[in-house]
Amino acid sequence: MLKVESISKTFHANTVNEVRALHDVCLTIEDGSFTGIIGTNGSGKSTLLNAVAGTFMPDAGSIHLAGHNITGWPEYKRASLVGRVFQDPFAGTAPDMSIAENVAIAMKRGQHRSLQFAVTRTFRDDVADRVRTLKMGLEDRLDNPIGTLSGGQRQALTLLMATWTRPKLLLLDEHTAALDPKSAAKVAELTKIIIEREKLTALMVTHSMQQAVELPDRIIMMHRGTIVEDYQQERKQRVRVPDLMATFDRVQKRELFDESVAGMLEVQYC
């Protein structure tokens, strides 16, 4: 279970570029749930994900994951509990190293890295078996450098790596946004399959309303560093893309309703 308690983060505090990226955000994610986060640009959705991943330390609040208080843990230490897939297909893999070596690095996530050889014969077979489930023909190219693969293939592999040792939490940061539509669909499908098969707890930031409706079983909408909407269970099942658009619209309307509007209405609303 992930428990985010009143975390706040201001970037460039006390400068002209001050950005209140997160403001008193509370969020609890039950084990086995797949939550999608949507929001406008700068709404804090990626910042929230990065706060959980440990890319930066929040100004206030705490984060608990699987019974640990991970608030002060550095990014690499949280990796023992957290698997991640990034938006940039180049971010999740080491391009000069082979598929098998990349997977070997992922396999040891959160464990001691010994002086034993990383890619053994049995391990290669294991990798081949799992890579075969991606249905991309990569099982025959395990010794090729990952840099030679397409964005979609790399993203699928990153997904496999992130879930190789079953993480307590899988973080997906707009992981299909940088792919061509066909690869994006394929990676989205793999995401759903893997999360369901491994019964993972996942948190996905997405820019695609369609994806938010189709993949996760809970949708959180963020705006200006706060959670403004939380679709769960029956409400989530009922929600469709136009509903989400309408909610965005509503949130923005509320934003535009300022003191001058109130003054105007005071005279005219009767």
Partner 1 sequence: MQIEFEQRGKYLLIQPKGRLDASWSEHFTDTILRQIREGKHHLVIDASEMDFLSSAGIRALLMVYKELSIVQGSFAVSNPTAFVEQTLSTSGFQMWLKKGLPEDLPAAGVGGETDAAENSGIQSFVLNENARLSAAEPADWRPWEVVEKERVQMLTFSKNICALGIGSAAGTFEEARDHFGEFLAAAGNVVYQPPDEQAPPDYLIAEKQFLPRMQCVQALSCKGEMAHLLRFAPTKAIPFYTASALLKHILDQIEGKPAGFVVLGEIEGLVGTALIRSPGRIRENRDMTFPEVRDWLTFCGERSYSHQQALITGIVSRAGATRLPSMPSAPDVATHMHGAVFPYQPLPNGKIDLEIAIAKFFNGPPPLAVMHLTDDDRPAVGLGESALVRGACWFGALENPEVLS
Partner 2 sequence: MSLIIGAFTMGLILSLLSLGMFISFRMIRFTDITVDGSITLGASISAVMIVQGYSPWLAVSVSILGGALAGAITGILYTRFKIQEILSGILMMTALYSINLRVMGKSNIPLLDVTTISTGMEGILAKMTGSASKVDILGWQVPVGDLAVFATSGIIAILIACILCAFLFTHAGTALRAAGSNPQMVRAQGVNNKTMIVFGLSMANGLVALAGSLLAQYQGFADVQMGIGMMVWGLASIIIGEALVGKTSIGLTLTGVILGTILFRLLIAIALRWGLNPNDLKLVTALFVFAALVAPAWIGKMSKKVKGGFLHAES
- What is the closest distance, in whole angstroms, from the C-beta atom of residue 78 to partner 1 in the complex? 37
Distance CA 169, CA 188 (A): 17
Q: Please report whether residue 254 would count as binding partner 1 according to CB under 8 A.
A: yes
- Judged by beta carbon, residue 11 or residue 90, the one nearer partner 2 is 90
Residue 16 contacts partner 1 per CB under 8 A: no
Under rule CB under 8 A, residue 234 binds partner 1: no
Do residues 219 and 40 touch, judged by C-beta distance below 8 A? no
Tokens standing for residue 78? 């949280």
- Residues with Cβ within 8 Å of residue 233, at least 6 apart in sequence: 217, 218
Q: Which does 74 bind (CB under 5 to 8 A by kind): partner 2, partner 1, none?
A: partner 2
110 binds, among partner 2, partner 1, none (CB under 5 to 8 A by kind): partner 2
Closest approach, Cβ 32 to partner 2, in A, equals 22
Binding-site ranges for partner 2 (CB under 8 A): 53, 74-77, 79-80, 83-84, 86, 90-97, 101-102, 104-106, 108-111, 113-119, 161-162
Residue with tokens 């992922």, as numbered in its chain: 106
Cα–Cα distance for residue pair 46/154, rounded to 1 Å: 21
According to the binding rule CB under 8 A, does residue 252 interact with partner 1? yes
Please choose which of partner 2, partner 1, none residue 6 contacts, taking the beta carbon within 5 to 8 angstroms, the exact cut-off set by kind. Answer: none
The one of partner 2, partner 1, none whose footprint includes residue 152, by CB under 5 to 8 A per kind, is none
How deeply is 166 buried, as exposed, middle or buried, from its count of CB atoms within 10 A (0-12, 13-18, 19+)?
A: exposed
Considering the complex, state which of residue 108 and residue 197 has its C-beta at the smaller distance from partner 2. Answer: 108
Binder of residue 117, out of partner 1, partner 2, none (CB less than 5 to 8 A by kind): partner 2
| 245 forms part of the interface with partner 1 (CB under 8 A) | no
Contact call for residue 256 and partner 1 (CB under 8 A): yes
Take residue 61 and report the two structure tokens written for it: 């609040």
- 34, 216 Cβ separation under 8 angstroms: yes
Asked if 57 is part of the footprint of partner 1 (rule: CB under 8 A), the reply reads no
Strands 226-232 and 218-223: antiparallel
The item of partner 1, partner 2, none sharing an interface with residue 258, based on CB under 5 to 8 Å by kind, is: partner 1
State the CB neighbour count (10 A cutoff) for residue 65: 22
Closest to partner 1 by CB, 96 or 258 = 258
Query: Cβ(248)–Cβ(40) under 8 Å?
Result: yes
Whether residue 54 contacts residue 74, with contact meaning beta carbons closer than 8 Å, is answered with yes
Contact between 166 and partner 1 by CB under 8 A: the answer reads no
193 binds, among partner 2, partner 1, none (CB under 5 to 8 A by kind): none
Q: What is the DSSP string of 176-204?
A: TTTS-HHHHHHHHHHHHHHHHHHT--EEE
3-class secondary structure, 253 = helix
| Total interface residues for partner 1 by CB under 8 A | 22
